[in-house]
Amino acid sequence: MIDQDEYTLIIKPKNSLLDINFKELWRYKDLLFLLVRRDFVSVYKQTILGPVWFFIQPLLTTATFTLVFSKMANISTDGIPAPLFYLIGVTFWSYFSTCLTATSGTFVNNASVFGKVYFPRLIMPLSIVISSLFKLSIQFIMLLIGWIYYMTTELSIVPNFTILLLPLYIISMAGLGLGFGIILSSVTTKYKDFSFLVGFGVQLLMYATPIIYPLSLIKNPNIITLVSLNPMTGLIEGIKYGLTGHGIYDLGLLTYSLVFTIVLLFVGVIIFNKVEKSFIDTV
């Protein structure tokens, strides 16, 4: 048998479930940064407006939502001015949905690179989450401008100290997007059916999250339970509450979201780690 101590690397058919090489992941940190840079730089190359597109997307979505859901359908926005209400929802939801959708294609989209060279595969989805974070921070600047504007004009907008939890909310959303994404990308390598699910699944999930309606609007307790089962619900409501003072700040809901994130990430990384070893044979 091959002596474990004598060699620096042993290639074996299958490793144990929890054999995740964090040291190796750290060694490839430069690659992570360069990939983040690549994602960021390459997206808007050869466009006239360039990074301005980062603003156009949420602005137009917010305008449409305001028009359709607030003006036409008269859905309550919980005392928050409709544009601000939708802008908050759209900005953070798009971060989550980008993380999820982009990471869910990790294996299939990178098959040509993964098939030729080895590096810790987890680097790819991580780079997506981080580069989306840059996009989020740019969009957040725009949100801040709108927020400050409404804070000075509307007396009802009163932020509070729970806003300090914002980084935690964002990390949790990133974790959820990454977790769902890598699980989906793992199962898609063998069963392509799931790639069809991702696109409209995320869209449907948005309606199960208080983005276009406030949680307080729902009166039926069964539906409240159902919507609360969505780990994004507590986070979005928490952000709204912190920024505006309107919304539901519920420790139970938030704890549920955090625990959900941790469990999901744990399961996701295990599955991803198992699949990455030989996915190239089935993709």
Binding residues for another protein, rule: CB under 8 A, are 1-3, 6-14, 27-28, 30-31, 33-35, 37-38, 41-42, 45-46, 112-119, 190-192, 277-278, 280-282
As measured in angstroms, the least distance from the Cβ of 133 to another protein is: 19
Distance CA 6, CA 8 (A): 7
**b (16+ CB within 10 A) / e for 63-75:** eebbeebbeeeeb
CB of 184 to another protein, least distance (A): 17
Question: Rg of the chain over CA atoms, in angstroms?
Answer: 21
Residue 106 in contact with residue 181, Cβ under 8 Å? Answer: yes
**Dist CA 245 CA 82 (whole Å):** 15
Contact 127, 34 (CB under 8 A): no
Nearest-angstrom CA–CA distance, 75 and 80:
12
**115 C-beta neighbours (distance < 10 Å), count:** 11
Least separation in angstroms between CB 97 and another protein: 24
Nearer to another protein, 41 or 223 (CB): 41
21 vs 225, which CB is nearer to another protein? Answer: 21
Q: 268 with 187: CB under 8 angstroms?
A: no
- Pick between residue 42 and residue 74 the one whose CB is nearest to another protein: 42
- Cβ distance to another protein smaller for residue 75 or 280: 280
* CB-nearer residue toward another protein: 33 or 266: 33
Rounded Cα gap, residues 215 and 236, in angstroms: 10
Minimum distance of another protein from residue 91's CB (angstroms): 26
Rounded-to-integer distance, Cα 188 and Cα 182, Å: 10
Considering beta carbons, is residue 43 or 166 the nearer one to another protein? 43
User: Least Å distance between CB 130 and another protein?
Assistant: 15
Minimum distance of another protein from residue 196's CB (angstroms): 14
Provide, rounded to whole angstroms, the least separation between the CB of residue 67 and another protein. Answer: 35
Q: Kindly state the smallest distance separating residue 20's Cβ from another protein, in Å.
A: 15
| 8 A C-beta contact, residue 180 and residue 264 | yes
Q: Could you give the CA distance from residue 165 to residue 162 in angstroms, rounded to a whole number? A: 6
Amino acid of residue 2: I
- Which one, 156 or 282, has the nearer CB to another protein? 282
Nearer to another protein, 87 or 128 (CB): 128
Q: Please report, for residues 40, 50, 116, 118, the alpha-carbon distance to residue 171 in angstroms, rounded to integers and kept in the order given.
A: 19, 27, 32, 28
